[in-house]
Amino acid sequence: MLMSDIVGIDLGTTNSLIGAMEAGFPLLLADADGERLTPSVVHFPANGEAIVGRAPSRMRALDPQNTIASIKRLMGTREKVRTRAGEFSPEQISALILKKLKADAERALEREVTRAVITVPAYFNDAQRNATKAAGELAGFTVERIVNEPTAAALAYGMDKLGEKSKIAVYDLGGGTFDISILELNKGVFQVIATNGNTRLGGDDIDAALVDFLADKLQVSDARLHETAIAAKHRLSAETETQIDLPFFDGENSLSFTLTRAGLDRIARPIVEKTRAHCLRSLADAKLSPADLDAVILVGGVTRMPLVRDFVRDLFQREPNTSQNPDEAVALGATLQAGILSGAVQNMVLLDVTPLSLGIETFGGLMNVIIPRNSTIPLKAGEMFTNALAGQRAMSIKVLQGEREMARDNWPLGEFELEFEPAPKGQARVGVQFEIDANGILHVLARDTKTGVEKIVEIKSAVDVSDEAVEQMIAESVEHAFDDMSERVLTEAKLKANEMLPAVRDALQKVGEDLSNEEKSRVAELMREVEAALESGEVQRLKKANAALDEGTQHLAALLVERAMDEALRRKGVL
């Protein structure tokens, strides 16, 4: 392994893996026990340091208060987990998992490992990506790239060999998250053209539903039930029925129950069915039908279930590709991406997309989108803004993430102010630029073009909303599209009216004597109609009134320009 090489890490909800390129091939590294899968579980014992992996996973039932699992679901939030060792952030718990992987890799490779590529669900937002990067840094890594899991999986499945131009769906149902992404391969470049998902939907939900079913059926709440249920679920991927035994569950009695695959399917089907809407939305965003796809690949341990494979086959109308180990595909792809960055893999590029639109709040409470969702990253985009009020000394830059037309309906990611010299209304010029780096992390720059004064902010604000709310936002943007657009149009019409009325009054004071009485009466009538339309709140009436006033004051505007030109010539001594 060369000094410049980089490890690839799948930081999973249920299990995590680490790999490195060896002799041109991606190799997943095993721990001291020869196991490549490391359970993403941390236990805080009564004495000694925290332990990570397989032994802690057996402590979940015995000491749940001090055993932390599925921490990935809390990434990007301010929630803390409380243990006997104190309070820990999701980043700190994740860092402990990454430290374990780092130690395993260094033991296997017999050298220090400091650089890494880490994968995240494609649907992770800015705060969640930042938290993942922070966890890697806490663990002692330089995080070279944050990569979307479906993109990494496409690499692992060898989708680059399909042909010069191919379209691939990646269905990723893991322990705690679900992603569906549509990728396009074109001349060695992987590009995510649409992505959707739910970062709080996965195998954990099936496990919980199965445990509830068994607890109700057997009328027990044995601490071993969770582990027993998961083992039974795994067996049913290959068998049609299995025996669940709880020997001496109360110290004396034993229980035995036969669970069939059909019975498990009835429990799991409602959870798997929740992925349908995400898949259809992703296809719609990509403007594709299932028939347009060249392949569908499966990722995540839950896709071993025959129920899931049947569901995907029916939904996408084709046999899914199951040639790779679904538990290891993302880690293999992360390792290949690490090879691309280090130069060990040639002639291949990965391009991801941002899952939600990013913008700022503008005057009137509108959301001004600077980077639309599903834009390819890394990228830069910007716009020029001006002062809404005369004498304004600063501009508040409120950074938003979401799909709604009004600022209040989107998520605030951060806010800062840029000061500038006071200027008449509409005269100041402030450039705002958004840059999303290769990790999907947002940097915002605001610059006063007159003085060159600027501020650059890396957005790290956690968004304290559940991941279900991410999905709800997109659904609501569709559900309320008509009402949102109507409100936006009305707001814009009000802003225009409130800008035109004082401007016309000012023009009448300056050059009104040059208008005929008939023209002045007509302008006054048009102004009264704008005021009445403003009062009524009727958008079409207001738009029509604005247009009529704009048209009816053309002569007045021409006189104003002529007066200004005359005054300029007088100052120069020409007149």
Catalytic residues: 10, 72, 149, 172
DSSP state of 287: T
Non-local CB neighbours of 17 within 8 Å, separated by 6+ positions: 9, 10, 28, 36, 37, 38, 101, 327, 328, 330, 331
Task: State the amino acid at position 197 in one-letter form.
Answer: G
Task: State the amino acid at position 448 in one-letter form.
Answer: D
Residue 190, CA atoms < 13 Å, CB-side half-sphere = 31
Maximum alpha-carbon separation in the chain: 113
Strands 349-353 and 189-198: what pairing? parallel
Q: Nearest CA to 27 among 347, 336, 348?
A: 336
Q: Which two tokens stand for residue 116?
A: 């890494």
Strands 430-436 and 442-448: what pairing? antiparallel
Non-local CB neighbours of 52 within 8 Å, separated by 6+ positions: 38, 41, 42, 43, 96, 97, 99, 100
Cα four-point dihedral sign 26, 32, 37, 39: negative
Task: State the amino acid at position 11 in one-letter form.
Answer: L
Non-local CB neighbours of 284 within 8 Å, separated by 6+ positions: none
User: For residue 378, is the peptide bond before it cis, meaning its omega torsion is within 30 degrees of 0?
Assistant: yes
Question: Cα 112 to the chain's mean position, in Å?
Answer: 32
Strands 86-88 and 81-83: what pairing? antiparallel
Q: Alpha helix (H) ranges present in 183-328?
A: 203-218, 225-235, 261-273, 275-286, 306-316
Measured distance between the N- and C-terminal CA atoms of the chain, rounded to whole angstroms: 82
Q: Nearest CA to 186 among 200, 174, 168, 199?
A: 168
Strands 142-148 and 115-120: what pairing? parallel
Going from the C-alpha of 111 to that of each of 1, 3, 28, 138, the distances in angstroms are 9, 9, 16, 19
Strand ranges in 372-450 using DSSP code E only, listed in sequence order: 376-377, 379-385, 394-401, 411-419, 430-436, 442-448
Helix axes 203-218, 261-273, angle to 10 degrees: 130
Task: State the amino acid at position 29 in one-letter form.
Answer: L
Placement of tokens 């500038």 in the chain? 420
Beta-carbon count within 10 A of 296 CB? 22
Query: Buried b vs exposed e over 172-189: b needs ≥16 C-beta within 10 Å?
Result: bbbbbbbbbbbbbbeeee
Q: What is residue 59's three-state secondary structure? A: coil
CA distance 32 to 16: 15
CA distance 198 to 122: 10
